[in-house]
C-alpha cells in the first residue's frame, strides 16, 4: 500500500511532493510545530530534508535557524538532525536527544523546559508567539480532509489549528488499525469561557477519533513508510526490582489502611527501566482490574494489558521496544478496545488528574533531605531532558511518588543530598520518595521529621552518616529551625564532585 492509497481527499492528494520540496517551503526564522511524543508519531522525512537545506545555507554564510515545538521528545531524525546542523534557535517543551542536549548545555541553543499540560494553552494564549508552520505525521486522510492520527497525539490538535501553514507526512508504516483508537477533544476554550471537561472515568471517550484540518492551510503532503524510533529497555536490575518491591508493599499497606481501593486508582508512570520494573511487579502482584491515566504506554503496561491485569489505559503516545511494538501492531484491533490516545492537554490536564485520583510515579535525579526533588538538572546547571509531565501529575496526584537509585556514577554521587542543586518539585508536591534502600512516606510530616525519614529510609549506607552529621549540625547552628541548613555547606557535596569527581 502506498501513502496515496490512504489519502482519500482529492484536494490533499493533489499536494503530494517529496520531502525536499516540502522542506523548501519552510523559511528561516519561523516557528515550526512538529508532531511526536517520546519517539512516536514524529515526522520522518521533512526534518532531515530541512536539516540538509539548513546545512547548505550555513555553508554559504547564511544563518538559517527555526524554532522547534513538539509534544515531547522525538528522535535522531528530527531533534538530532536539526541540532547537528545548528538549525534550532529555540526548542520546547521537552527533549532527550544527546546532540540537542549538548548544544543546550553549551549555550548554543535556547531551551524552554515546560510543563507538558501548558504548551497547547500557552500557544492559544499567544504567550509563545506565532506558530508559522506545522509538520504532522498521520496514518491517513479521509475524503473530507479529516486526519487519522498516528502513534502519538501530543500537541497535534493545536498545531493544526494554530499554524498558518501545514505539511502532512502520511506514513503507511503506521498501522491502519490505529483508526478509532484516538479521542480528540474539541471542547476546550479560552478563559473566561471554559467549561468542565466531561471526563470522569479513564475509559470515557469525550471527543472524536480524528484530527480536524483545514485543507486550505495544507501546503504539502509527503509520503513515508518509516518506523517509529524504538525505545530499548533493559531487564530490571536488582535496584529497580527493590524499588518496585517497596512501592508494591506500600500499595498493599494503603489498601489495608483503607486509603486505596483494592484495585488501586489510575496509574501514571514516567518513562524508564524503574517504571517498567514497577509494572512487572504489578503484573505478578495481587491487584486486578487496574487502570492507567498516563502520558506514554510502555512495555510494562502492554504486558499488563496482555495479562488482563490492566483493564484500560489512557495516554497520548506509545513508547515501546521493538519487540513490544511488533506485538502491538500484530494485534492492534484487540488492543484498540482498551487503549485510548488523547491530546496531551487532556492526558496531562490537572483537573482530570485530580478528579480521577491518579497515583503518579516518576523518576528523579536527586532529592534533598527535606523532600525537594530535582528531576531535570545534573549538578544544578546542566539539563538532562526536561520536566516533562512529572509536574502536571505530582502537584495534582492522589499520591505523588518519586523514585531513583540511592547513588549514581558507581557510588561517586549520592542521590539524596543536603540541598537539591535545582528544584523542579518542591517538598509541598512530593509525598513519597523511594530508593532501593527503602520508602519514605512524607505525608503529614514537618521538614525536620521528613529529613529523619528520608535519611534513614532512602540514603545509601555509605552516605547516611555524612547526611546525619550535616542535619545534626544544621539543627544546632542554622539561624532558622523550621528547615535547618548550613548555607555555606548546603551545596558542598556538589562542589566536591565537580572539583574531584566524588561527593
Catalytic center residues: 295
* β pairing state of 267-269 and 296-297: unpaired
SS (H, E, C) 440-499: EECCCCCHHHHHHHHHHHHCCCCCHHHHHHHHHHHHHHCCCCCCCCCCCCCCHHHHHHHH
Q: DSSP state, 6?
A: G
The three cell numbers locating residue 47: 526534518
Q: Residue written as cell 501546503?
A: 219
Run of H or E residues at 167: strand 165-171
Neighbours of 63 (CB within 10 A): 12
Residues 400, 456: contact at Cβ < 8 Å?
Answer: no
Run of H or E residues at 219: strand 218-224
Residues 51, 80: contact at Cβ < 8 Å?
Answer: no
Q: How many CA atoms lie within 13 A of 116 on its CB side?
A: 36
In sign, the C-alpha dihedral spanning 411, 415, 417, 423 is positive
SS3 content of the chain, % helix, strand, coil (to 5): 35, 20, 45
Rounded distance between C-alpha atoms, residue 152 and residue 394, angstroms: 23
SS (H, E, C) 306-350: HHCCEEEEEECEECCCHHHHHHHHHCHHHHCCCEEECEHHHHCCH
Classify 195 as helix, strand or coil: coil
User: Terminus-to-terminus CA distance in the chain, angstroms?
Assistant: 58
The three cell numbers locating residue 254: 494503603
Q: DSSP state, 289?
A: S
Residues 186, 163: contact at Cβ < 8 Å?
Answer: no
Residues 6+ apart with CB under 8 A from 456: 438, 464
Cis-peptide into 93, omega within 30 deg: yes
Residue 479 CB-density burial (10 A; 0-12 exposed, 13-18 middle, 19+ buried):
exposed
Nearest CA-CA partner of 459 in 481, 476, 434, 482: 434
Amino acid at each position: 500500500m502506498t501513502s496515496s492509497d490512504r489519502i482519500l481527499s482529492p484536494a490533499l492528494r493533489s499536494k503530494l511532493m517529496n520531502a525536499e520540496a516540502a522542506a523548501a517551503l519552510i523559511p528561516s526564522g519561523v516557528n515550526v510545530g512538529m508532531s511526536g511524543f517520546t519517539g512516536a508519531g514524529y515526522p520522518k522525512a521533512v526534518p532531515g530534508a530541512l536539516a540538509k537545506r539548513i546545512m547548505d545555507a550555513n555553508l554559504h554564510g547564511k544563518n538559517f535557524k527555526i524554532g522547534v515545538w513538539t509534544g515531547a521528545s522525538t528522535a535522531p531524525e528530527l531533534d538530532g538532525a536539526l541540532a547537528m546542523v545548528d538549525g534550532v534557535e529555540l526548542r520546547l517543551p521537552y527533549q532527550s536527544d544527546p546532540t540537542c542536549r549538548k548544544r543546550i548545555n553549551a549555550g548554543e541553543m535556547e531551551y524552554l523546559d515546560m510543563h507538558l499540560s501548558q504548551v497547547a494553552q500557552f500557544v492559544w494564549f499567544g504567550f509563545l508567539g506565532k506558530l508559522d508552520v506545522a509538520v504532522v505525521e498521520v496514518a491517513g486522510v479521509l475524503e473530507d480532509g479529516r486526519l487519522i492520527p498516528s502513534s502519538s497525539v501530543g500537541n497535534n490538535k493545536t498545531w493544526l489549528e494554530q499554524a498558518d501553514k501545514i505539511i502532512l507526512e502520511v506514513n503507511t508504516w503506521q498501522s491502519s488499525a490505529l483508526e478509532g483508537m484516538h479521542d480528540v477533544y474539541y471542547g476546550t476554550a479560552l478563559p473566561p469561557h471554559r467549561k468542565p471537561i466531561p471526563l470522569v472515568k479513564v475509559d470515557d471517550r469525550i471527543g472524536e477519533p480524528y484530527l480536524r484540518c483545514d485543507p486550505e492551510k495544507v501546503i504539502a503532503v509527503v509520503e513515508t513508510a518509516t518506523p517509529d524510533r524504538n525505545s530499548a529497555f533493559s531487564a530490571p536490575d536488582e535496584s529497580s526490582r527493590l524499588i518496585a518491591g517497596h512501592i508494591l508493599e506500600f500499595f498493599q499497606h494503603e489498601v489495608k489502611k483503607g486509603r486505596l481501593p483494592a484495585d488501586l486508582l489510575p496509574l501514571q508512570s514516567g518513562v524508564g527501566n524503574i517504571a517498567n520494573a514497577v509494572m512487572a511487579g504489578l503484573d505478578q502482584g495481587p491487584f486486578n482490574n487496574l487502570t492507567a491515566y498516563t502520558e506514554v504506554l510502555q512495555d510494562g503496561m502492554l504486558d499488563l494489558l496482555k495479562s488482563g491485569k490492566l483493564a484500560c489505559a489512557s495516554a497520548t503516545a506509545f513508547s515501546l521496544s521493538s519487540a513490544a511494538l511488533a506485538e502491538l501492531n500484530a494485534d492492534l484491533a484487540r488492543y484498540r478496545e482498551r487503549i485510548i490516545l488523547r491530546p496531551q492537554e487532556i492526558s496531562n490536564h490537572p483537573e482530570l488528574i485530580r478528579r480521577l485520583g491518579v497515583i503518579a510515579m516518576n523518576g528523579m535525579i536527586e532529592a534533598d533531605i527535606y523532600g525537594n526533588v530535582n528531576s531535570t538538572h545534573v549538578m544544578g546547571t546542566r539539563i538532562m531532558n526536561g520536566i516533562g509531565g512529572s509536574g502536571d501529575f505530582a502537584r495534582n496526584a492522589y499520591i505523588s511518588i518519586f523514585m531513583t537509585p540511592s547513588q549514581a556514577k558507581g557510588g561517586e554521587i549520592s542521590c539524596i543530598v543536603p540541598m537539591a542543586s535545582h528544584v523542579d518539585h518542591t517538598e509541598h508536591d512530593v509525598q513519597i520518595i523511594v530508593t532501593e534502600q527503602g520508602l519514605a512516606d512524607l505525608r503529614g510530616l514537618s521538614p525536620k521529621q521528613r529529613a529523619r525519614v528520608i535519611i534513614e529510609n532512602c540514603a545509601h549506607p555509605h552516605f547516611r552518616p555524612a547526611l546525619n552529621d550535616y542535619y545534626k549540625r544544621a539543627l544546632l547552628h542554622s539561624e532558622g529551625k523550621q528547615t535547618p541548613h548550613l548555607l555555606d555547606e548546603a551545596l558542598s557535596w556538589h562542589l566536591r564532585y565537580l572539583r574531584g569527581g566524588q561527593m
